[in-house]
Amino acid sequence: MPKSLSAEQQERAAQLGAEALIIDAMGGYIVAPEPQPYQGRNYLDRVADSNVRVTNITIAAHADEFEAALDKMFHYFNLLQVAKDRVVHIKTVADIENAHRDKKVGIMFGFQSPTPIDIHINRWTIFRQLGLRTCSLAYNEPNVFAHGCHDPRNGGLSYYGLQAINEMNRLGIVVDLSHVGERSSLEAIEHSKKPCIFSHSNAKAVANTRRNITDEQARLVAEKGGVIGLSPHAFLSAKQTAAQPNLDDYLDHFDYLAKLVGVDHIGVGSDVFESYTKFSWETSTKLLYNSPWTYETVQNADYNRVEGIHLVIAGLVSRGFSDQEIAKFLGTNFLRVFKEVWRDDF
């Protein structure tokens, strides 16, 4: 815990960590691949003990295709069967409430890229029925729907992108705009009849990287009722290129956005993947995107494992946020969006 916390503040932080609904809008893999045990304990047990009650599992990213997404779902359907005393599939708001009450780990399916759907409009319904509840329109690169945030052309939505938003609104899938280019994301927010989210994006005004969002993006998503999930990751939190950020760097994004858009529009999207190894980082993301961060610096120095959420809670207390505000950040802001977007009538 931060050394500056008083005994009363420490008690507040501990109570929030034990009782608040915690939704991680971008959680790490539990299986396929499974992270290595840490201090003799498996990852699922550590997620449960950390009190993270909902974790958004990436079913597709980059340019994953239809069969790859089904294969990933297969592994999680198996987990839901063999560990049904500890995990629950999150498809409705009631599922979230039950997971919180029963102290189970809620697994929510999300796409960081819509490439498994491609131009096949029927697949939106199929994946929705299989449990898809959030979907981004691009993963850094351009595709048939939108431009990604790494594309310097900064193009807008295509016809298929507009069609995708219509289908997500109709079916009750949250439009996620992390990794999406600035123009495409602004057009998506304007076009959507439902609130959108940035599941794991920080403030560009604090850390000027391609993956972060401008004040205009933050204001517009908030005006339409959406939420920005903040991540401790280096390429989102670090103020200097290639530098490893710490907890304070991460908390600075809460402070900035709370002033810019208000406490009702901030959440947590950790993007902490403990399954990453040095070789998997250096032969995939670092290589694909020419990242200046090494495996040793890409994770936050303080919040790099699932238990780090409790350091965040203590840090938010030390920054002067109230218990009600912190509870919003931890989960109830995202819960509000899910209540507005998701459907349980079919």
In the chain, DSSP assigns E strands to 22-24, 52-60, 87-89, 105-111, 132-136, 174-176, 197-198, 227-230, 266-268
Residue 346 pLDDT: 79
Per-residue pLDDT tens over the stretch 293-325: 999 999 999 999 999 999 999 999 999 999 999
Distance CA 44, CA 34 (A): 9
Determine the pLDDT at residue 3: 65
Residues 107/131, Cβ–Cβ less than 8 Å: no
Residue 2 located in a structural domain = no
Structure token digits, residue 124: 């939106």
Is residue 1 domain-resident?
Answer: no
Residue 119 in tokens: 């131009």
Distance between CA 42 and CA 30 in Å, rounded? 10
Q: Domain of 65?
A: 7-341
Q: Is 65 among the domain residues?
A: yes
Q: Which residues, 6 or more positions from 272, have their beta carbon under 8 angstroms from its beta carbon?
A: 27, 28, 232, 233, 299, 300, 303, 304, 305, 306, 308
Q: Is position 135 within any domain?
A: yes
Q: In the chain, which residues have pLDDT < 70? A: 1-3
Q: Which two tokens stand for residue 241?
A: 């290129």
Predicted confidence at residue 7, as pLDDT, reads 96
Ordered DSSP codes for 241-256: TTPPP-HHHHHHHHHH
Name the residue among 319, 305, 316 with its Cα closest to residue 24: 305
This prediction has a pTM of 0.98
Residue 346 inside a domain? The answer is no
Task: Give, as one character, the DSSP assignment of residue 35.
Answer: P
Q: What is the reported pLDDT for 71?
A: 98
User: What domain count does the chain have?
Assistant: 1
Residue 208 lies in a domain: yes
Residue type, 307: E
Assigned domain for 256 exists: yes
95 in a structural domain: yes
Kindly report the CATH number assigned to the domain that includes residue 145: 3.20.20.140
